[in-house]
Amino acid sequence: MPEVKLTEEYGFCFGVRRALEIALTNLERGISFDSLGPIIHNEYVVGELRRKGVEVVDSIEQSKKSHVLVRTHGVPPEIYERAKEFGKTIIDCTCPFVAKAQWWAKKFYEEGYVVLVIGTKDHPEVIGIVGQTEGKALVVSSQKELDVSLIRNKRVGVVAQTTSRLDMVEDIMGLLVKEANEVRFANTRCNTTQRRQDEVEELSREVEVMVIVGGKNSSNTRRLYEIASRNCKRAYLIEFPNELMEEWFYNVSTVGVSAGASTPPEIVEEVYKKINILLKGGTYGERKVDEG
């Protein structure tokens, strides 16, 4: 019998749920606000909020409203200063796990460590973390990106982007331990992310096809897809159920499904349902489903 296996962790993570609750509570109270960047990497959710009047802006000054929402990724300190300057109130949805990474980066910096962030340089979360160090932190995502002369015989304080893969962290820490004088590591990887990555690691080894559901700009979704692709030759990344192709499932008997932290659970469940139908040789959508 063909089988579709869904990881236990899927749907919104704690940080995203919290951000959406804060946003909706403010709307219910009649507070109108804009969002500094999309609240999550999900077109469907961003569209729903837009219908309720929440526009996505690129900067504080671009917003015409009195309140501006800071999303789970957090922002550098100068954004709070800019908000004050422009008389705006910040609705702060920075995920507590991201806030922890910001706190450690600031602490290491103030204690005179060379701060090293393991992550992707241009990711908003990393920009917010680097901002805690007056822009001085080094950012690398692999050993080969690290200029060893900047850490050799130095005291180095390390924080990780919440979504960073364990193997990335281990790879870079290996070099630091060899070259630096002192290394302090604040484990700022997020538990939810770790659990999802572990589940995807395991499931993608077992199945013939692996489908990851989530925003293509979402860092945690992309990491899941990278893990799945390493273990399973037929791994796909989709945002919506209508991207599933019937031919991916011809003569296939096991499929794994997982999703990034900003993917609404109802979309994951729809994908799961659709794959089940396709595996049984049925069709989906406008055409009649034959589950025979």
Q: Does 190 bind ligand SF4 (CB under 6 A)?
A: yes
Pick from 16, 68, 91, 140: which binds ligand SF4 (CB under 6 A)?
16
Q: Measured between alpha carbons, how far is 170 from 269 in angstroms, rounded to an integer?
A: 34
Q: Which 94-113 residues touch ligand SF4, going by CB under 6 A?
A: 95, 97-98
CB 110 within 8 A of CB 137: no
12: its two tokens: 């919104």
By C-beta, is 42 or 276 nearer to ligand SF4? 42
Residue 42 CB, nearest approach to ligand SF4 (Å): 12
By C-beta, is 97 or 236 nearer to ligand SF4? 97
By C-beta, is 220 or 276 nearer to ligand SF4? 220
CB 111 within 8 A of CB 154: no
Residue 261 CB, nearest approach to ligand SF4 (Å): 4
Helix H or strand E encompassing 104: helix 96-110
Q: Measured between alpha carbons, how far is 114 from 146 in angstroms, rounded to an integer?
A: 13
Q: How far apart, in Å, are the Cα atoms of 256 and each of 127, 187, 241?
A: 34, 29, 15
Q: Does 227 bind ligand SF4 (CB under 6 A)?
A: no
To the nearest 5 percent, what fractions of the chain are helix, strand and coil?
A: 45, 20, 35
Stretch that binds ligand SF4, among 14-22, 81-89, 172-180, 271-279 (CB under 6 A): 14-22
Pick from 35, 164, 192, 218: which binds ligand SF4 (CB under 6 A)?
192
3-state secondary structure of 63: coil
Q: Does 213 bind ligand SF4 (CB under 6 A)?
A: no
Pick from 193, 197, 221, 263: which binds ligand SF4 (CB under 6 A)?
193
How does DSSP classify residue 211? Answer: E
Residue among 21, 48, 125, 226 flagged as catalytic: 125
Q: Where are the beta strands (DSSP E) in the chain?
A: 3-6, 33-36, 56-57, 67-70, 89-92, 114-118, 138-140, 155-160, 182-186, 209-213, 234-238, 254-259
How does DSSP classify residue 88? Answer: P
Pick from 14, 44, 80, 103: which binds ligand SF4 (CB under 6 A)?
14
Q: Does 159 bind ligand SF4 (CB under 6 A)?
A: no
- Which residue in the shown chain puts its C-beta closest to ligand SF4? 15
Question: Is 125 an active-site residue?
Answer: yes
Q: Which amino acid appears at position 47 of this protein?
A: G
Residue 125 CB, nearest approach to ligand SF4 (Å): 8
Pick from 130, 183, 261, 279: which binds ligand SF4 (CB under 6 A)?
261
By C-beta, is 17 or 178 nearer to ligand SF4? 17
Sign of CA dihedral 236, 282, 286, 272: negative
Residue 101 CB, nearest approach to ligand SF4 (Å): 8
Residues labelled catalytic: 125
What does the binding site for ligand SF4 look like in residue numbers (CB under 6 A)?
Answer: 13-16, 72, 95, 97-98, 162, 190, 192-193, 220, 261
